[in-house]
């Protein structure tokens, strides 16, 4: 069950090939995931995190086959979210007095979820450490809002392993565990998706925390996150990517997003896409219908884009609910330094573009003046408006 990470450090988590969604249904899982827990066996035996509650029985049974559970000297809870702590209550029933090292907010999270204030909590903050024997220590680094207030990372001296919690992870199942054994295309696809959909709202904090960690000048041989691959080959490559992604990231890409009722707004979307490509052949153009494409995959493309065009017909003096819900999520992700244009068809009142413009502005986009507001089905003169939109988005 255990898999060797390095020396006396083993992975004891769960690879979940069947997982299809996360955070309720708010995050899509395309290639499985993992909940990574780690066992350190020096003079002291330490368990770092557990796994999600549905896998509790397997987790504890498998762990008990590897060690006497009573030999665990303490548990490190890097983060209280249920995918990390779900098996903790059942484990604590078997070893009730075992100390749990976590942040002050970690105590609030774990007590709030599981209602066990009597657990033996040991509160730590950045710079605190604990000796585990054989000349090695665990050093704690608070990672507030990456992505919960209780989050922290744990660094193992001697072996130079950073247990990074939710930072530097992906929802990606890799049986072989390590980044050099993973499908590289899928690895980076899932890494950027994870950042765009979960961590981007906290990008200023990511930048600051990366700078803080680098300033410590800790040797890092392995980065062991809570989900996805363990980075052992050039581990700081993912740190460098996070630093790049945290600074209003964009590529030479424009993404067109829409929904449609009777294909009129769809025709406008395709016309804008063609015009963008004609005006800037080197720019990558993406086109998505929000009702037919996973929202997290679209958001990943928005993250990579320098501009978007968003369309909806007017419905009930507003916009389609599919586009409205998508815009709620867009605002939550707090993208910066990106342009946007609006377009849409209407039959009678025509408020759709105004609503799109307002909500994109609230989401932090610089909305250009050009738009297409088409009464009924598009005519050639309506489609010609794509030239102005493309020119402003590309300028």
**Domains of the chain by residue range:** 3-245, 253-394
Catalytic residues: 23, 79, 81, 83, 147, 166, 194, 227
Report CA torsion sign: 273, 276, 281, 283: negative
Instruction: Provide the b/e sequence for 114-129 (b: ≥16 CB within 10 Å).
Output: beeeebebeebeeebe
| Contact criterion met (CB below 8 Å) for 46 and 59 | no
Give CA–CA dist 302/255, Å, rounded.
Answer: 6
Question: Check: CATH 3.30.70.580 for 253-394?
Answer: no
236: Cβ contacts below 8 Å, ≥ 6 apart: 220, 223
pLDDT at 145: 77
pLDDT at 1: 73
Rg (Cα) of the chain, in Å, rounded? 24
pLDDT tens for the chain, 395 residues long, are 799 999 999 999 999 999 888 887 889 999 999 999 999 999 999 999 999 999 999 999 999 999 999 999 999 999 989 889 999 999 999 999 999 999 999 999 999 999 999 999 999 999 999 999 999 999 999 998 788 899 999 999 999 999 999 999 999 999 999 999 999 999 999 999 999 999 999 999 999 988 988 887 889 999 999 999 999 999 999 999 999 999 999 999 999 999 999 999 999 999 999 999 999 999 999 999 999 999 999 999 999 999 999 999 999 888 999 999 999 999 999 999 999 999 999 988 888 999 999 999 999 999 999 999 999 998 888 888 999 999 999 99
**Where does 3-245 sit in CATH, by number?**
3.60.15.10
* Residue that is written with structure tokens 């910066």 in the block: 336
Lookup: tokens for 243: 């630093």
pLDDT at 380: 86
Give CA–CA dist 299/200, Å, rounded.
Answer: 11
């Amino acid at each position: 069950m255990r898999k060797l990470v390095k020396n006396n450090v083993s992975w004891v988590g769960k690879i979940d090939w069947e997982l299809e969604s996360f955070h309720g249904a708010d995050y899509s899982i395309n290639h499985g995931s993992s909940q990574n827990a780690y066992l350190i066996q020096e003079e002291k035996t330490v368990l770092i995190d557990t796994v999600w509650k549905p896998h509790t029985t397997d987790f504890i049974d498998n762990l008990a086959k590897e060690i006497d559970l009573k030999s665990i000297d303490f548990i490190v809870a890097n983060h209280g979210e249920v995918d990390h702590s779900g098996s903790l209550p059942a484990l604590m029933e078997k070893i009730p007095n075992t100390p749990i090292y976590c942040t002050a907010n970690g105590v609030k999270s774990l007590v709030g979820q599981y209602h066990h204030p009597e657990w033996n909590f040991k509160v730590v903050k950045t710079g605190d450490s604990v000796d585990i024997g054989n000349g090695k220590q665990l050093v704690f680094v608070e990672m507030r809002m990456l992505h919960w207030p209780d989050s922290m990372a744990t660094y193992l001296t001697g072996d130079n392993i950073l247990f990074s919690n939710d930072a530097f992870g992906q929802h990606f199942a890799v049986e072989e565990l390590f980044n050099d054994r993973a499908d590289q295309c899928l690895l980076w696809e899932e890494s950027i998706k994870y950042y765009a959909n979960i961590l981007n709202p906290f990008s200023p904090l990511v930048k600051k925390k990366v700078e803080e960690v680098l300033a410590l000048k800790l040797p890092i041989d392995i980065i062991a996150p809570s989900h996805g691959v363990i980075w052992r080959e050039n581990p700081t490559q993912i740190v460098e990517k996070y630093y790049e992604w945290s600074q209003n990231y964009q590529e030479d890409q424009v993404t067109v997003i829409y929904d449609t009722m009777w294909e009129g707004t769809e025709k406008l979307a395709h016309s804008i896409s063609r015009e963008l490509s004609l005006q800037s052949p080197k720019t990558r153009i993406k086109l998505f219908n929000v009702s037919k494409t996973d929202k997290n995959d679209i958001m990943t493309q928005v993250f990579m884009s320098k501009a978007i065009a968003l369309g909806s017909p007017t419905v009930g003096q507003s916009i389609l609910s599919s586009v409205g819900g998508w815009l709620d999520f867009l605002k939550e992700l707090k993208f910066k330094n990106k342009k946007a244009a609006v377009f849409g068809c209407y039959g009678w009142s025509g408020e759709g573009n105004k609503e799109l413009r307002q909500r994109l502005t609230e989401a932090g986009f610089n909305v250009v003046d050009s738009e297409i507001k088409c009464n009924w089905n598009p005519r050639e003169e309506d489609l010609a408006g794509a030239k102005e939109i493309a020119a402003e988005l590309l300028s």
